[in-house]
Chain A
């Protein structure tokens, strides 16, 4: 054991704890998620739903008008009324994202409360606040990214499915695929940002937990 360092107190034997590399936090966060698959999947479903909704609406907004005008030009169908009411959709999307945010936050908070002993123990073993913080933020972000990707896939399938159902397979070749990746990318950004934001408070609470929590016997 090295004895050098910046220990400034008493007999000079105390040093400052080192920061751990991020990879270790990533490793532990992934393990924790794998073990709590059931809970993770429930949280995941919230994200998948919200992101599928967002993607579907964005895509329909983009695809719908293009296809409609194309088809109208070919006289395949009579004029449809405007299919979307913009402001109401914005309202609905915001609401679904908010529900998603609160849902993830709540699930993370429960997870933190359940794991008080584990967190306290890690602190007794020398974990720093910042390490615990990283652990929970990472866990949430992984969940967020996985959920968002599933949600985007679902959203694209739904949007295309609805188009085809509405305008028959004639719509298929008319779909402007070029815009789809950008919408997906934007959705991925929003999904990740929301889960990271949702994790902030629970992760902060976990990081602030005292090591003495490890001693608590009751659940």
Chain B
């Protein structure tokens, strides 16, 4: 796997990491069909920091899940690193989730019975790494997120912000190409949320990882390279960071 450590938006010839083509997602509700996504086509480049913004019910989460290979679209295609996700079998999908994508959740989702270190080591072990190597690497990453002193703590012994840091460390464990962060600050207070956003941005820049975040946290606007505004199942507009500041207030 190639890891281009280039900052986003740097010149032409940027490498595509995610592309969706005409993605439609329909839900059947009784005899009605609800279109959560009405044909979304977006392209995301390697190393970008993308925020998907939109009110709840806009289709934001649906798009996010489709990009993350968590949900199959009713029609249309999703390519992750040039691979058509729909073509993958269960084992390949598991590999993709393990190695190419790192997930960060609103509710942190650490495995409660495991220590911070074990949580971070888990995806590496799933990926086939030797236990000892996985632990060594997990320790390094935990030190990177400034939790080197809490590696033997269980999630219940950590604060929300610390748990999310462990989750970030876990998401980065297998050096993924993409980090998918679903409302990463949704359960955190203002300052902790800011710190988490800053950490994500730092990791994004120092590792050249693409970060895709579904959020309605306006704090994300400052650091996103591009923002996809979703409304009623469609991409309402795509803005670059420098275009955003003016109308950041008109979210709804």
A: residues with CB less than 8 A from B are 1, 3, 7, 9-11, 13-18, 20, 24, 28, 31-32, 34-35, 117-118, 120-129, 131, 210-212, 214-215, 217
Binding stretch for chain A, among B30-38, B89-97, B241-249: B89-97
Decide: B126 and A14 in contact? CB cutoff 8 A.
no
Decide: B83 and A215 in contact? CB cutoff 8 A.
no
Assuming A14-B83, A127-B126, A128-B91, is B98 touching A215 (CB within 8 A)?
no
Decide: A124 and B70 in contact? CB cutoff 8 A.
yes
Is B189 at the interface (CB under 8 A from chain A)?
no
**How many chain-B residues does the 8 Å CB contact rule pick out?**
42
Assuming A9-B84, A17-B92, is B70 touching A24 (CB within 8 A)?
no
A126's closest neighbor in chain B, by CB? B98
As a 0/1 sequence over residues 120 to 147 of chain B, the CB contacts with chain A under 8 angstroms (1 = contact) are 0011011110000000000000000000
Besides A7-B92, A9-B92, A117-B107, 10 other A-B contacts (C-beta < 8 A): A1-B1, A1-B174, A10-B87, A11-B83, A16-B92, A32-B113, A121-B103, A123-B97, A126-B123, A128-B94
Q: Distance (Å) between the CB of A37 and the closest chain B CB?
A: 11
Q: Distance (Å) between the CB of A119 and the closest chain B CB?
A: 10
B: residues with CB less than 8 A from A are 1, 61, 65, 70-71, 79, 81-84, 87-92, 94-99, 101, 103, 105-107, 109, 111-114, 122-123, 125-128, 170, 174-175, 182
Decide: A215 and B70 in contact? CB cutoff 8 A.
yes
In the bound complex, CA of A13 to CA of B3 (Å): 13
Decide: B1 and A10 in contact? CB cutoff 8 A.
no
Q: Distance (Å) between the CB of A10 and the closest chain B CB?
A: 3
In the bound complex, CA of A211 to CA of B84 (Å): 19
Q: Distance (Å) between the CB of B43 and the closest chain A CB?
A: 16
Most buried by B among A1, A11, A14, A117: A14
Decide: A126 and B90 in contact? CB cutoff 8 A.
no
Q: Distance (Å) between the CB of B16 and the closest chain A CB?
A: 11
In the bound complex, CA of A123 to CA of B87 (Å): 19
Q: Distance (Å) between the CB of A175 and the closest chain B CB?
A: 44
